[in-house]
């Protein structure tokens, strides 16, 4: 009896010292549930150690909408109201389906590895490792390249958006200077060990985007339509497909799905969490983007950030501040998988010291900081990233990987996860996956890539790289300053 008690205490002590989730798809979960029960009233555990279904839901919903909430009205001005609404619903459902596929492949990989007695203690499973285990090294390389590049630019976008947003409150500093400041602030995310430790941040982040979205909708309706408002979209193919790929990017935020699953105590319960998160996100994105487009119409074509058109008051300033905090959180979400990859490359991933790991992660932040200074316009970057990276990372690769993993009858028969109850046929799943691959490759990557890169190049030609203050209003002259004398005209 005494030995059993000491053994239990040793297990609990070991688990409490781990910063990564050690949840097992199989029997190991029972130990973790004991740990959670025993630390239920521990404040640190309550705020820091998240691994429930609700934690995963908050992480998915919070991570899905950040700065893109501010660019959706811009997309509506390119697409028109009807296309904007329909494409949000369409890509939201497509994104939920591919997130489901990723969760199925994760469980399949985890189940196979556990049968081989593989120990994931102090190791976070990532998407490229799932592809490696199920399909081989070539798929590992493809998954690693697309995922890391997507997350890199996703982090860059967050920094650009921070500088763009704070400028609407304080324009005494230019946006480039604000980018320097927020780059230093966001670098502190190196101290957050894993997604297991984002419990309170995910909860707060979703509350912040909820406030911002409903502020945008109500402020636009209260403001009313601007004088002689026009809604001409869609009127150019380049603009139409640029807007469409921005929406594809909006619902393609699950490049961190595997890491969020791995942080769960029971990862097999993830299957429909992303769909539930997407349904909630619809209540934020649809009313806000439709209301702002209704109020300002074509003016949004020259204002990729909706804050630039909404009236300046305390409510708007509160929304800006909340979005700034949320973008810090989203920066951490996008960077954390990159931290894991870098740690594995340099052999620091199993280090328990938070300070040592933080120091090792710093080289990841520096290139992100530098790229944010080079490309200071995040609206066009959203579309380019959506077309060239999200298309493959989030939609095409998971669909192809699922089809190839279960191409053999024996793999289907021994599958850890059978087809969902609403689609109990493997053939039907293959049809849906094939449709996603073809649609996203032709429409998202093909037309979307052409349109977004055309728009992106135009932005560079117009504003230049290393722009000091992109889309800034002219500085207001100081009061009581005498106007300079008129210059003589030389003929």
Are the C-beta atoms of residues 41 and 49 closer than 8 Å to each other?
no
- Give how far Cα 372 sits from Cα of 27, 105, 155, 170, 338, Å: 45, 34, 9, 19, 17
Look at residue 255 in the predicted model and tell me its pLDDT: 73
Q: Does 478 reside within a domain? A: no
Task: Let me know if 483 is exposed, middle or buried by CB neighbors in 10 A (0-12, 13-18, 19+).
Answer: exposed
Range of the domain at 126: 53-463
473 assigned to some structural domain: no
Q: Count how many residues are written for the chain.
A: 491
The answer for residues whose C-beta is within 8 angstroms of residue 59's C-beta and 6 or more apart is: 195, 198, 202, 260, 263, 333
Q: Which two tokens stand for residue 38?
A: 């025993």
Half-sphere exposure of residue 175: CA atoms within 13 angstroms, side-chain side: 24
| CB 168, CB 316: distance < 8 Å | yes
pLDDT at 462: 64
Please indicate, yes or no, if residue 164 is contained in any of the structural domains: yes
Place of tokens 């521990």: 42
* CATH assignment at residue 121: 1.20.1740.10
Cα–Cα distances in Å, from 215 out to 67, 207, 301, 315? 14, 12, 21, 7
Question: How many CA atoms within 13 Å lie on the side-chain side of 249?
Answer: 34
Q: Sign of torsion, CA 91 93 96 98? A: negative
Phi and psi at residue 445, to the nearest 5°: -75, -45
Whether 157 is in a domain gets the answer yes
23 assigned to some structural domain: no
pTM above 0.85, yes or no: no
Question: Whose CA is closest to 245, among 433, 450, 462?
Answer: 450
Domains of the chain: total: 1
The angle that helices 68-79 and 81-115 make with each other, rounded to 10 degrees, is 130
Is residue 287 a contact partner of residue 294, using CB atoms and an 8 Å limit? no
The answer to whether residue 288 sits within a structural domain is yes
CA pair distance 206, 326, nearest whole angstrom: 8
Over the range 194-227, which residues count as b (16 or more CB within 10 Å of their CB) and which as e?
bbbbbbebbbebbebbbbbbbbbbebbeeeeeee
In this predicted structure, what is the pLDDT of residue 86? 96
Query: Is 218 within the bounds of a domain?
Result: yes
Q: Which residues of 99-110 are buried (b: 16+ CB within 10 A; e: fewer)?
A: bbbbbbbbbbbb
Q: Is residue 472 part of a domain?
A: no
Average pLDDT per 10 consecutive residues for the chain, totaling 491 residues? 43 39 42 43 60 89 83 92 95 94 94 85 88 94 91 84 78 80 86 83 91 95 92 87 85 81 87 92 95 94 86 90 87 89 88 86 89 71 75 93 94 91 90 96 92 76 63 51 40 34
């Amino acid at each position: 009896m005494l030995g059993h008690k000491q053994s239990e205490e040793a297990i609990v002590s070991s688990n409490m010292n781990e910063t990564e989730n050690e949840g097992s798809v199989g029997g190991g979960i029972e130990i973790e549930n004991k740990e959670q029960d025993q630390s239920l009233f521990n404040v640190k555990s309550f705020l820091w150690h998240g691994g429930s279904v609700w934690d995963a839901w908050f992480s998915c919903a919070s991570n899905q909408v950040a700065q893109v909430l501010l660019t959706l009205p811009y997309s509506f001005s390119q697409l028109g109201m009807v296309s904007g609404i329909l494409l949000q619903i369409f890509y939201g459902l497509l994104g939920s389906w591919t997130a489901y596929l990723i969760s199925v492949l994760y469980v399949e990989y985890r189940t196979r590895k556990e049968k081989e007695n593989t120990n994931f203690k102090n190791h976070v499973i990532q998407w490229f490792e799932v592809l490696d285990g199920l399909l081989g090294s070539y798929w590992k390389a493809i998954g690693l390249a697309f995922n890391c590049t997507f997350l890199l630019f996703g982090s860059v976008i967050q920094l650009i958006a921070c500088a763009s947003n704070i400028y609407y409150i304080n324009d005494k500093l230019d946006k480039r200077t604000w980018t320097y400041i927020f780059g230093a602030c966001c670098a502190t995310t190196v101290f957050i060990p894993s997604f297991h430790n984002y419990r309170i941040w995910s909860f707060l982040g979703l509350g912040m985007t909820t406030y911002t979205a409903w502020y945008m909708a109500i402020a636009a309706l209260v403001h009313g339509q601007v004088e002689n408002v026009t809604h001409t979209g869609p009127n150019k193919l380049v603009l139409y497909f640029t807007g469409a790929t921005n929406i594809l990017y909006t619902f393609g935020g699950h490049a961190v799905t595997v890491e969020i699953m791995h942080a769960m105590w029971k990862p097999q319960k993830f299957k429909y969490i992303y769909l539930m998160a997407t349904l909630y996100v619809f209540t934020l994105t649809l009313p806000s983007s439709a209301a702002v487009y209704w109020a300002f119409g074509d003016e949004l074509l020259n204002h990729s950030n909706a804050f630039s058109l909404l009236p300046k008051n305390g409510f708007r300033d509160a929304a800006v501040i909340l979005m700034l905090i949320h973008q810090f959180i989203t920066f951490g979400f996008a960077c954390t998988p990159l931290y894991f990859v870098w740690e594995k490359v340099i052999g620091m991933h199993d280090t328990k010291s938070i300070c040592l790991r933080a120091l090792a992660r710093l080289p990841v932040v520096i290139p992100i900081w530098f790229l944010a200074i080079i490309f200071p316009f995040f609206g066009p970057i959203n579309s380019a990233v959506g077309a060239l990276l999200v298309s493959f990372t989030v939609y095409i690769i998971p669909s192809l990987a699922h089809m190839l993993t279960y191409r053999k009858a024996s793999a289907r028969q021994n599958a850890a996860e059978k087809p969902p109850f609403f689609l109990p046929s493997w053939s039907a799943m293959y049809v849906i996956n094939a449709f996603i691959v073809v649609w996203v490759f032709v429409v998202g990557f093909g037309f979307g890539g052409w349109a977004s890169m055309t728009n992106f190049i135009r932005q560079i030609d117009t504003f230049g790289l290393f722009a000091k203050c992109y889309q800034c209003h002219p500085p207001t002259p100081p009061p009581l300053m005498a106007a300079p004398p008129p210059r003589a005209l030389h003929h």
